[in-house]
């Protein structure tokens, strides 16, 4: 039997950081599903293909290899923007969700993070966490990341971007970002990375004991 942990939430809430810690703690496989949308977008951009042709985008989505995904080659701002545009297309979502579901069945367990894991990809996940933080805190985290890498950042522009990304993710018709009814909410606005991990671990351990 496979145990799946679903982690959803808005941009820069801390999903990736938490998912990697959980995967390590429990010895589970981890998939950052945002990378599947980013890889599709990058393939379209690299081939100079349009971002508004659903059939073309679907073809690219069907080609995405989950094993080769690497955030460092998919992190460009333009790729994120394109990813969030093609993520509204039902055919693209269908293709990527199918691959994500297949991944979620790996033994002995999996952690998937994204926007629709608990609601659409893995509705039967053993544990669902909805990780969030205020838009101000999330924008500051992105700002610190960029400055930490030695680049120049504009907080107001990043804040604006976080708000726009939220609107697009929460407002789309197909699989909008929202907590599943049975998700545990984890607001990390005032939490360190370690505190968020300990809070998540307590929720997961309690949920897993109940399931056994």
Task: List residues near ligand CDP by CB under 6 A.
Answer: 9, 11-17, 33-34, 37-38, 80, 83-84, 87, 114-116, 141, 145, 165, 169, 188, 191, 193, 196
The least CB distance from residue 50 to ligand CDP, in Å, is 18
At what angle are helices 34-46 and 90-104 packed, to 10 degrees? 130
In the DSSP assignment, the letter for residue 116 is S
For the chain, helix (H) and strand (E) counts, in that order, are 9, 5
Nearest one of 99, 90, 91, 97 to 68, comparing CA atoms = 99
Nearer to ligand CDP, 151 or 212 (CB): 151
Nearer to ligand CDP, 67 or 212 (CB): 67
The least CB distance from residue 177 to ligand CDP, in Å, is 8
The least CB distance from residue 142 to ligand CDP, in Å, is 7
The least CB distance from residue 59 to ligand CDP, in Å, is 18
Nearer to ligand CDP, 115 or 184 (CB): 115
Say if residues 169 and 130 touch (Cβ distance below 8 Å). no
Task: Give the residue closest to ligand CDP by C-beta.
Answer: 34
Question: Is residue 120 classed as helix, strand or coil in its secondary structure?
Answer: helix
From CA 112, how far away is CA 33, in angstroms rounded?
Answer: 7
């Amino acid at each position: 039997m496979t145990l799946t942990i679903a982690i959803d939430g808005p941009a820069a809430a801390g999903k990736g950081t938490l998912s990697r810690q959980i995967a390590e703690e429990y010895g589970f496989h981890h998939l950052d599903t945002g990378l599947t949308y980013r890889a599709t977008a990058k393939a379209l951009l690299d081939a100079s293909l349009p971002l508004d042709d659903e059939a073309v985008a679907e073809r690219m989505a069907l080609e995405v290899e989950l094993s080769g995904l690497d955030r460092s080659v998919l992190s460009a701002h333009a790729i994120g923007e394109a990813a969030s545009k093609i993520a509204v297309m039902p055919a693209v979502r269908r293709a990527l969700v199918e691959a994500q579901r297949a991944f979620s069945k790996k033994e002995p367990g999996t952690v998937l993070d994204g926007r629709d894991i608990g609601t659409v990809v893995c509705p039967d996940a053993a544990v669902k966490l909805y990780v969030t933080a205020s838009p101000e805190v999330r924008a500051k985290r992105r700002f610190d990341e960029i400055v930490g890498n030695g680049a120049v950042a504009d907080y107001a522009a990043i804040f604006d971007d976080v708000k726009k990304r939220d609107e697009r993710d929460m407002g789309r018709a197909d699989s909008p970002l929202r907590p599943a009814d049975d998700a545990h909410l984890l607001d990390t606005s005032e939490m360190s990375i370690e505190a968020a991990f300990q809070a998540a671990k307590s929720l997961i351990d309690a949920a897993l004991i109940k399931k056994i």
